Amino acid sequence: MRSPSFYLASEILSGSPTLFCSQVLPAAAVDRSKFRTCEQGSFCRRYKKWISRPEREKALWTVLPQTRAPLPEGGFSFQVKHVNEETPHLLLKLNIYASGMVRMRITEIKPLHIRHEIPPGDVVSDPPPAAAKVSEADESGKSIFKFATADGTAAEDRTELNARNMLNFERYRTPKERLPPDTASVAAPDTVLLDAAAHPNGLDTNGLWEEPFGGHTDQKPRGPASLGMDVSFLGDVPSLFGLPEHATKASLPFYQEPYRFFNLDVFEYEIDEPMALYGAIPIIWAIHRLGGQTVSSGFLWINPSETFVKLERDTPDGKGGPAHAWWTSESGVLDTVVMVGPTPKTVSAQFHDLTGHGPMPGLWALGKHQCRWNYMSEKDVATVDSMYDKYDIPYDTIWLDIEHTDGKAYFSWNAAAFPNPKQMIDNISAKRRKFVNVVDPHIKKDEKFHVYREVRDKGFFVKKVSYKQIDDPTDVKPADWVEETKIPDPTATQPPELFCGEGGWHPRKVNDPTPDLTDFEGWCWPGTSLYPDFTDPAMREYWGSQFALDKYTGTNADTYIWNDMNEPSVFNGPEVTMPRDAIHPNGMVEHRDVHNMYGYYVHRATFEGLQKRTPGDRPFVLTRSFFIGSHKYSAIWTGDNYAQWSHLKASIAMVGALTLGGQSLVGADVGGFFKHPDTEMTVRWYQLAVLIYPFLRNHAHLETPRREPYVFDEKTMLRIKASLQMRYKMLPLWYTLFHRWASAAEPVVRPLFWDFLDDPQTHENEEALESQIMLGDSLLVHGIAKPSSEQSEATVYLPKASGWYSIHNGAFKAPGAHVHKLDLDSIPAYYRAGTVVPLKSRIRRSSACMSLDPFTLNVYLNPQTGAAKGRLYIDDYRTRTYQDVGLLCARKIDFTCSARLGTRTHHAKASFEETLKSSH
């Protein structure tokens, strides 16, 4: 494959096309009032005004090529000067990575306050990806840095940054000042065109220094600090994908309202909305049709403060041609990465080269998880477990929600309902099953609770700021100030106590730079709760230590953890979360700067604690809130969905978007969390989930009826059972695909375009985009999201390939659109011709009980060649010894008609068994 090419011109921040990232083309029912919109947020409102300014095409910032300096990790830095400032105040850092990425960062030079930057290793791997070799050349006085192609052939541009001149970078100001320090001296500051917080075009000053919303006032002692930029995806761009987490279509709609990233506890979220949900991975995947070729690229915006993204088109009908996006974040630094591609496989590889590869999950994590709010006692748990066995339904893990605790003090047990938790969990372990407890990050305020006392005494809680007004020490009386003597009118009838006293000059009032800090208290499940500063490595170390078996009493090594409510959820906070002006004592960082990473740091601390608790074990953590890089530490579910057909269908797109963001161990609550599904919806949801949810759990609200598989009528129960048995039969395929994800960055589940980029129907056909998804490269699944009374048949699009075989009856279909008659026993699903699928035919009560059972290889021949290929990956399914390549078995399987099937299968089986013996 040819190497990518990159160009950087000195006009990188001008209105002309700026940063080109290229690849040589080869020959071949929410309460909306609680949550603010772009227009209700001052920095987003300012940005929209800024990008609509007159003469936007005029360049304001320019890179100074003569300031080029090498970066320690490779790449270069440049100073950036604004036309209305005497000296440069911004620094641009440019990294070009050998795997095919360009990273561009912009920050302040000597800011009044430290601008928050994500520590190395938290999102971008440390050390970072290998740098590309970059050479310098001069053309017409421009300083151009070129990443040369292998053969020197011409490249086509596909991504431009700031091509529409929408760059904004608000430098820190002194309190209440319109302009930052060192701005060019002007007689009338109001006339200066500087940034979105200082310009003469109807500037909106509301919210610059404080901002009310929903009964709360956000104090901003550091003033405006937002940033923004535009990105253009060139060529004919039929679809954009990604931007998790939003409950939208797979092919991202171009809404009037921007997509919002601000992790929130959203009660009863709606479908087809750009509103923020629980997690944030600000990545866009683009498909470009260029020069007769179809290629893909990715764009990543790395900023954990509140962010808005607006998708736009040039065409009046919003279809075809280039696509654009503008991005704006409340604070921090501008940090972007362009992943050049050109194939989906290379974009995924580039993303994981940047952020790191995920770990292999234990095999049990891919089995059935049984959860609800809540199993209320040890007897309840034992009953659920035994009923699964009674009806011979496989499952791997039972979960406990918040009611198992002593008054919502996590790491504790309700002694009345769970008097002997260790024995309860040991009984589950004896059946080779696992246990998961919820542990939320809000800490109950209770002197009897050791975690509260210890975190408080260590000073690890997030702080509340109590601002006091003082005279501004930098405000001095003007030299030409003339005092006016005011003499009371002796004839006035005004009472003496209303006389205002001596007039004259007074310094302005500002917030005390050393305000009082107290532990922030909010309201959550325990009542009054406090919130640890998980950005602090010392706090994360403490948190992880609490999972040790000698500290978290009642648990054993088969107990794993669920981190919920970690956006964080604050019931009485603004937008049901933590105030932005709260202070994280680790670095005295405002919460606004790190909000979208709070949940990431929580589940990372939990994962690392479990690693230390049981050396060599594979930790399992489920999180609701997440950020870029969460794939290294946790599974994710799509939150509190509804028992509605629309939510069933939306889960296809939501799971697909998450996997494009690097998160493959993902799923939605089967059957919906809120309300209760009818039997048909339950069956259809299971039929879909067992084939496309890598993380397979059903969960339900406290007020809903029980919905374990065995509580339904016999026909429904048998259909659910058949679905779950299919899942367990397919575990070897699932596990092999996870090895491909962990080792080669291939999403376990992915939209059709990932495997069939050259088939235009996979980026424009409605059914192919929104109702279908691939499990690996071998199985296509079409979800059914309407009751049979509304839908008796489905049109399934089978992409261009050698053909397809029904998973249910083996019937062969050629590529193209096919009408599929529906029944309640199955949904359309097809194996790709030319694949060998590893399975296990003996279904037992849990995945661990099946680990040494023989494999079955199903062969789906390519009818043109009479051949098929596949993979099978085997290790011990539970420890980290897989990281030693000598202790695993990863084999490719080739089959042709020239060999007898029985002989070929026997030979492969013998080879696998021999390798397995060496791994024990």
317 is known as an active-site residue? no
Q: What are phi and psi of 14, to 5 degrees?
A: -85, 180
564 is known as an active-site residue? yes
Closest-CA residue to 530 (of 480, 589, 469, 458) = 458
Contact 860, 830 (CB under 8 A): no
* CA 381/CA 434 separation, integer angstroms: 12
Residue of 640, 669, 755, 875 marked catalytic: 640
* CA 218/CA 309 separation, integer angstroms: 22
* CA 95/CA 130 separation, integer angstroms: 10
Residue of 265, 396, 564, 581 marked catalytic: 564
CA distances to 145, 382, 528, 729, 782 from 139, rounded to whole Å, are 10, 75, 64, 62, 53
Provide the sign of the torsion angle of the four alpha carbons 33, 34, 35, 40, taken in this order.
Answer: positive
Q: In this structure, what token pair is assigned to residue 633? A: 């530490």
How many other CB atoms are there within 10 angstroms of residue 215's CB atom? 7
* CA 709/CA 679 separation, integer angstroms: 10
Contact 658, 636 (CB under 8 A): yes
Contact 368, 395 (CB under 8 A): yes
CA distances to 192, 251, 692, 714, 785 from 797, rounded to whole Å, are 57, 16, 17, 33, 16
CA distances to 303, 469, 715, 732 from 283, rounded to whole Å, are 11, 42, 43, 31
Element spanning 858, H or E: strand 856-860
* CA 858/CA 733 separation, integer angstroms: 11
Q: Is cis: bond before 312, omega within 30 of 0?
A: no
Q: How many residues does the chain have?
A: 920
Q: What are the start-end ranges of the H helices in 333-377?
A: 344-355
* CA 506/CA 508 separation, integer angstroms: 6
Close Cβ partners of 152 (under 8 Å, ≥ 6 residues apart): none
Active-site residue numbers? 564, 640
